[in-house]
Structure 1
Amino acid sequence: MTTTTTTTAKTPGRRTRPGTLAMKIAAMTPVVVMAEWIFAEDSEIGGVIGLLAIVWVAMLSIGRPIVLRSRSSRIALIAAAGYAVVLADDPNALALLLGWIAISMAALLPRRRFDHALRWVPRLGLHALVALGLPWRDLAWSAAARRRSRRGGLRAAAAMLVVPVLGGAVFLTLFANANPLIAGVFERIAWPDLGDIVWRIAVAAVMATAVWATLRPRLSVRTGDTLDLPARVAQFDPGSASLVLSLATFNVIFTGQNVLDILFLWSGAPLPGGVTMADYAHRGAYALIVTALLAAVFVLVTLRPGSSGTASPAVRRLVTLWIMQNLLLVASSALRLVDYIQAYAMTAWRLAALAWMALVATGLALILWRLLRGRSAAWLINANALAAALVLSAASAVDLKAMAAAWNADVAITQGRAGPPLDLCYLATIGPSGLTALARLERHARNATLRDRLAYLRWEAQVQTKARQGGWRSWTGRNARRLAAVEAMMGPRRPLLRAAPNGRECGWIYPVEPALLTKAAQR
């Protein structure tokens, strides 16, 4: 009994071999050193952050080889490397967040297999919190071990140096005040800037904490096991009779809404007086998505596989009909948003909203499949998480602002007056993302006033992008390709602009006159 108790009392940290700890410190050091090299005060960060992420992934593989022996961990590590490539090409917050999730999961998965996504949300959150104290706990343990092996050595050395160091500093200060020659020597010494020292210490502390948390994760493998919300909420069972009555009521209400959408939205019939298509589209696009989400929650809570409701053929038919109506509702919401875009142009947020609607439709279809095939709650959660991960990964790899700008330019060039107004302010404010679209519009402009305005906005964006590309910290591959494409179209020289004594404005072109833009490029 005594032996068992002693073994249990040992902490995981004390069982770590010094060689293993040294290898992890050696793996952490290149990442910290590279971060110190990259991050500077008041400096924009570009593609080099992707190189830092790639080094982190490589050092995690070297310093903790177990991540390569776990299949699920290898998948997460490959995903982290993919996000690192995205960061190297075009850094963005979404790719940074997804990369952190991937590398954290690569570090944690060897300790616990992937069960379902909902349980991993608190695990990742707790991992981020626990990471703040991990390096300092291990440092304290290591210091305690050294004190035990060399009792009194450091303390005696420190006591021996206190008097000469402090005494020498006092006498040097007095002599510097009394002797101008000594004072001059001190004045010529380039002392390091205190602010820079603080910044460097902060960068090293942040990176060391983040990397160490992946090299020596100490998150309990049981974290999140008790958080099984689907299983708990699904205990609610209103009974077959109540479900039939509820679903019949919901189907009648949804049928009314869908019939109105078919009559006025899908068929193109004229709306009642005082209601424009833009009003009809804008007011309903997001409210209907909320309706579909509420419907999905209702089905999840009341119709889990094996419940009394799913055993009833009437309930199964009614819920199938209701989910199909919800899918039509989501399609109508997307069509409303498309109509609104056709009236008021495309933006990155509207493009993201279309992707969100596609995710909602996918979730509804997965709920129906789960109900009909008797799939588990974990299957449904993981399927939705996979769909969301694919959409978010695509959004991190592409530039939604550039896609919106390209769409607006294409519509302006091809449709003219029939298209939406061309918001030049939007193209100007999205920075490098609007550069290629502005160049294309300038190349197709026939009206001299319009061409002058486009040339000014394009050149401003081009100069700003070149300035960002001039520093190695802020350089990105995507901006390099943009500049190359624009210079191939318009050349590297400054355009000849009209005098503007009162300044310039970006402004709207509403509507785009057919004579202002031509489908054929001007030479």
Structure 2
Amino acid sequence: MASATRTSFTPSYCRRVGAAVLLVALADFLFYGQPVGITVFIFAIVLAAAVVAMHPAALNDARVWLKPAALFAALLPLVENVSPLSVLVAIAALAIFALSLAGRLRTRPARIARQLGLFLLAAPFRFARDFFRWRKVARQLGQRRIRLAAIAVWVMPLTLGGVFLALFGAANPIIEHWLSLIDLYALLDKIEVVRLIFWLVMLAAVWAFLRPRLPRFFSRIRRALPAAPVARPARTSAEDVLFGKAAILRALIVFNALFAVQSVLDATYLWGGVALPDGLTYAAYAHRGAYPLVATALLAAGFVLVALRSGSETSRDPLIRRLVYLWVAQNIVLVISSILRLDLYVGMYALTYLRVAAFIWMGLVAAGLALIIARIALQKTGEWLLSANLLTLSATLYACCFVNFAATIANYNVDHSYEMNGPGTGLDIYYTRSLGPAALPALDRFFDHQKKVFLTDKRDPADAFIETRYRDARKNWRTWSFRDWRLLRTLDKRGPLVVPPGYQPAMPDL
């Protein structure tokens, strides 16, 4: 009885094909030749519903609502704004959701990340592989097989039928007239190769979620590898000398001393107000040290992981553990110093996308170092450390989906510009405009202030051109997003800018 129930719950191959075709048709309506926006969220929700329909047995779980709720939360960034990051988060969430419903998902974050990577690696080829295994799948599901002979028997009737039709057309003027109405060239012109490619790509994409599977070639490779060699009596080697307990102890003493010198120099010159050598400015001192110090912290983290492997002799030595705690703490201070260096440099000049990314990256490095201390103190495994770092990275990327970095950069640069009585340099108008429509509210404040100071309007019509084109693009309902809705409300409060007649923008790519 249980076997019969399980079989009844198993969706047929044809059901998957039908669902995939419907999803491709929906994708064609939503995406082909159209701008993207809320349509990505709609398609993701429909795809998730199709995945649930393919695995109805998963609905028997008492906590079944947890998975859709988590998926919905992961898809919310698509409502806020469609960006490469929000799409990446949505794809990862849909893949994990599909694997979990299929009962193929592990429980630990590190293993889930590995499965996710394998799934995405094999996803483009899943449909092609299943297509060539059609007869095998049909046999497993107890359905009729499509034989090559069933297709071949139609070759002769159709060929001779075409010959007879041509002869009748030559003999009968009415049939000839009907045949003349068939314009093969016009039919070929209506066939869009790009659209066919789009259909195939979407079919391969949705099929991977409707039939989630993990590739097995890695497990086959492991089985094919020879067995581990028999352990031999331990002998002192060069590795034991270079990375032994004595070497690591001396290395930690030297490293702690060097890092202490660097920390004292930062505290003296950057934060203590001591004058720098001639020809060296505080901004240059801060900028030169920001990125190399992060690289230093990463190298230090790698050394700690190698030196204090789980179960090693060095990991059990109390003195080495204390020195590691001190050194990692100094690395965290070093990363914080790098963040403060970058903040000092940005305050003197301006904020950019790369500098925002540097802030985020430095924060992740500091969090990773703190997790290394936690791993050593709690005596956790390397898999625990990897899982904790993956969770930290995932949470950071998810939070970044809701941050309007273009508006943040524009507001910061305007507020800290020299023209707005800020501590920074003059505002780079060209770069601010290159941030797109999200920078318009910040530019509004900037030019309003300039108008009050100089009693004249110096605003370039390029802003009006950017806004007009932005408003025109948002007339299509497919482009709606919560972020655009908020921006349009802000722009509507001050009224639309008008493009002068005959104006041609100097930056047509905006």
TM-score class, shorter-chain normalisation, is 0.7 to 0.9
Asked if the contact 2:24/2:203 (under 8 Å) is kept, the reply is: yes
Q: Which amino acid aligns with 2:197?
A: A
1:511 is matched with none
Q: Which amino acid aligns with 2:19?
A: A
Query: Which of the numbers 315, 319, 324 marks the counterpart of 1:314?
Result: 319
Shift of 1:208: 1.7
Please say which of residues 71-80 and 265-274 is displaced more in the overlay: 71-80
Q: Cα deviation per residue 1:396-430 (whole Å; 9 max; x = unaligned)?
A: 22221221112222334995153332111112111
Query: Which of the numbers 140, 160, 164 marks the counterpart of 2:161?
Result: 164
* SS in structure 1 of the partner of residue 107 of structure 2: coil
Asked if the contact 1:455/1:495 (under 8 Å) is kept, the reply is: no
Distance 1:313 1:141, change over 3 A: closer
Asked if the contact 1:46/1:475 (under 8 Å) is kept, the reply is: yes
Distance 1:264 1:376, change over 3 A: same
Identity, % of aligned positions: 33
Query: Which of the numbers 84, 99, 116 marks the counterpart of 1:108?
Result: 99
Q: Which amino acid aligns with 2:159?
A: V
Distance 1:18 1:55, change over 3 A: closer
Matched, 1:373 2:378: yes
Distance 1:57 1:393, change over 3 A: same
Query: Which of the numbers 347, 355, 365 marks the counterpart of 2:360?
Result: 355
Asked if the contact 2:406/2:436 (under 8 Å) is kept, the reply is: no
Query: Which of the numbers 80, 89, 102 marks the counterpart of 2:80?
Result: 89
2:445 is matched with 440
Q: Which amino acid aligns with 2:451?
A: R
1:208 is matched with 203
Q: Which amino acid aligns with 1:82?
A: A
Please say which of residues 19-28 and 312-321 is displaced more in the overlay: 19-28
Asked if the contact 1:104/1:214 (under 8 Å) is kept, the reply is: yes
- Rounded Cα–Cα distance in structure 1 between residues aligned with 2:106 and 2:299: 32
* SS in structure 2 of the partner of residue 446 of structure 1: helix
Asked if the contact 2:119/2:215 (under 8 Å) is kept, the reply is: no
- Rounded Cα–Cα distance in structure 1 between residues aligned with 2:312 and 2:345: 42
Shift of 1:36: 1.0
Query: Which of the numbers 2, 16, 34 marks the counterpart of 1:24?
Result: 16
- Rounded Cα–Cα distance in structure 1 between residues aligned with 2:63 and 2:368: 24
Shift of 1:478: 1.8
Matched, 1:492 2:487: no
Q: Which amino acid aligns with 1:367?
A: I
Structure 1 segment 110-259 matched on structure 2, within 5 A: 110-117=103-110, 119-142=111-134, 145=138, 148=145, 152-165=149-162, 168=165, 185-186=181-182, 191=187, 193-194=189-190, 196=192, 198-220=193-215, 223=218, 238-259=243-264
Asked if the contact 2:418/2:426 (under 8 Å) is kept, the reply is: no
Asked if the contact 1:289/1:330 (under 8 Å) is kept, the reply is: yes
Q: Cα deviation per residue 1:134-186 (whole Å; 9 max; x = unaligned)?
A: 3234334445747647784443234322322466479869999xx8x779745
Distance 1:135 1:439, change over 3 A: same
Structure 1 segment 31-110 matched on structure 2, within 5 A: 31-41=23-33, 43-65=34-56, 78-109=69-100, 110=103
Distance 1:19 1:365, change over 3 A: closer
- Rounded Cα–Cα distance in structure 1 between residues aligned with 2:147 and 2:194: 34
Matched, 1:387 2:392: yes
Asked if the contact 1:334/1:354 (under 8 Å) is kept, the reply is: yes
Q: Cα deviation per residue 1:19-46 (whole Å; 9 max; x = unaligned)?
A: 53333334334321211112224x4322
Number of corresponding residues? 476
Q: Cα deviation per residue 1:338-371 (whole Å; 9 max; x = unaligned)?
A: 0111011112221121111111000000001111
- Rounded Cα–Cα distance in structure 2 between residues aligned with 1:505 and 1:270: 44
Give the alignment's Cα RMSD to 1 decimal. Answer: 3.7
Structure 1 segment 462-477 matched on structure 2, within 5 A: 462-477=467-482
Q: Which runs of 5+ in 2 are unaligned?
A: 1-6, 223-238
Asked if the contact 2:35/2:478 (under 8 Å) is kept, the reply is: yes
Q: Which amino acid aligns with 2:491?
A: V
Q: Cα deviation per residue 1:211-268 (whole Å; 9 max; x = unaligned)?
A: 21122223157957999xxxxxxxx762321111000010111111111100011223
- Rounded Cα–Cα distance in structure 1 between residues aligned with 2:107 and 2:455: 57
Asked if the contact 2:118/2:215 (under 8 Å) is kept, the reply is: no
- Rounded Cα–Cα distance in structure 1 between residues aligned with 2:278 and 2:166: 88
Asked if the contact 2:269/2:276 (under 8 Å) is kept, the reply is: yes
Asked if the contact 1:438/1:457 (under 8 Å) is kept, the reply is: no
Asked if the contact 2:23/2:47 (under 8 Å) is kept, the reply is: yes
- Rounded Cα–Cα distance in structure 2 between residues aligned with 1:288 and 1:17: 57
Q: TM-score under structure 1 normalisation?
A: 0.80
- Rounded Cα–Cα distance in structure 2 between residues aligned with 1:450 and 1:419: 23
2:337 is matched with 332
* SS in structure 1 of the partner of residue 187 of structure 2: coil
Shift of 1:290: 0.3
- Rounded Cα–Cα distance in structure 2 between residues aligned with 1:66 and 1:435: 51
- Rounded Cα–Cα distance in structure 1 between residues aligned with 2:323 and 2:119: 43
Shift of 1:485: 0.5
Q: Which amino acid aligns with 2:410?
A: A
Q: Which amino acid aligns with 2:386?
A: I
Q: Cα deviation per residue 1:30-67 (whole Å; 9 max; x = unaligned)?
A: 321211112224x4322312211121122112222355
Q: Which runs of 5+ in 1 are unaligned?
A: 1-14, 228-235, 507-523
- Rounded Cα–Cα distance in structure 2 between residues aligned with 1:381 and 1:103: 22
